[in-house]
């Protein structure tokens, strides 16, 4: 079941995201996907010169915190500000579906092929955004992909600002 869901998330299969949304036990699988994507990110970080493990660990902590902020912002925006009449969701549903949306991150390990690294990062970034849009659309029961894009991008910008402010305030003590 896990591999079918993993491949389905990579294939941007909306029915798989719907299944993940409905399965309250899928949070464990979602964490496994996040861990797998993190390994891909670790290889990419090494290829781009981040070799100190303490800097990498601090980066992972900031990234995970950013994910939690993003999911919370998406939950508020999607469930209240830009909700449709049929919208019913919560943070655990969004965490499960958006956890699986990180599946393309495993391909960041292909940055080990140095000439292809910038292309790989760009493609994986776009792929992950597409997966996040589908995850948001399914978790928030939207009928419009455009609304999911708006929530994804607006939530991303607000979250990036919040995480950026946190790093600006506390970054000197973390590094």
User: Where do the structural domains in the chain lie, given as residue ranges?
Assistant: 2-174
- Cβ atoms of residues 114 and 47 within 8 Å: yes
Task: Output the DSSP codes for 37-65.
Answer: HHHHHHHHHHHTT---HHHHHHHHHHHHH
Helix ranges, the chain (H): 2-10, 14-22, 27-47, 53-76, 91-100, 117-139, 145-174
Per-residue pLDDT of the chain (175 residues; tens, 9 = 90+): 999 999 999 999 999 999 999 999 999 999 889 888 877 877 777 766 666 666 666 666 766 777 788 899 999 999 999 999 999 898 999 999 999 999 999 998 888 888 888 899 899 999 999 999 999 999 999 999 999 999 999 998 998 888 788 778 876 554 4
pTM for the model stands at: 0.86
- Cβ atoms of residues 139 and 89 within 8 Å: yes
């Amino acid at each position: 079941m896990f591999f079918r869901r993993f491949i389905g998330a990579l294939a941007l299969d909306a029915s798989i995201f719907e299944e993940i949304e409905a399965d309250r036990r899928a949070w464990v699988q979602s964490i496994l996907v996040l861990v797998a994507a993190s390994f891909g990110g670790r290889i990419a970080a090494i290829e781009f010169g981040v070799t100190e493990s303490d800097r990498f660990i601090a980066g992972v902590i900031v990234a995970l915190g950013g994910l939690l902020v993003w999911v919370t912002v998406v939950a508020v925006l999607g469930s209240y500000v830009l909700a449709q009449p049929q919208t019913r969701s919560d943070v655990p549903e969004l965490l499960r579906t958006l956890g699986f949306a990180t599946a393309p991150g495993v391909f960041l390990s292909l940055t080990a092929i140095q000439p292809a690294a910038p292309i790989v990062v760009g493609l994986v970034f776009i792929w992950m955004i597409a997966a996040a849009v589908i995850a948001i659309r399914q978790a928030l029961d939207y009928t419009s992909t455009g609304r999911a894009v708006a929530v994804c991008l607006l939530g991303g910008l607000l979250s990036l600002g919040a995480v950026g402010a946190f790093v600006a305030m506390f970054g000197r003590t973390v590094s």
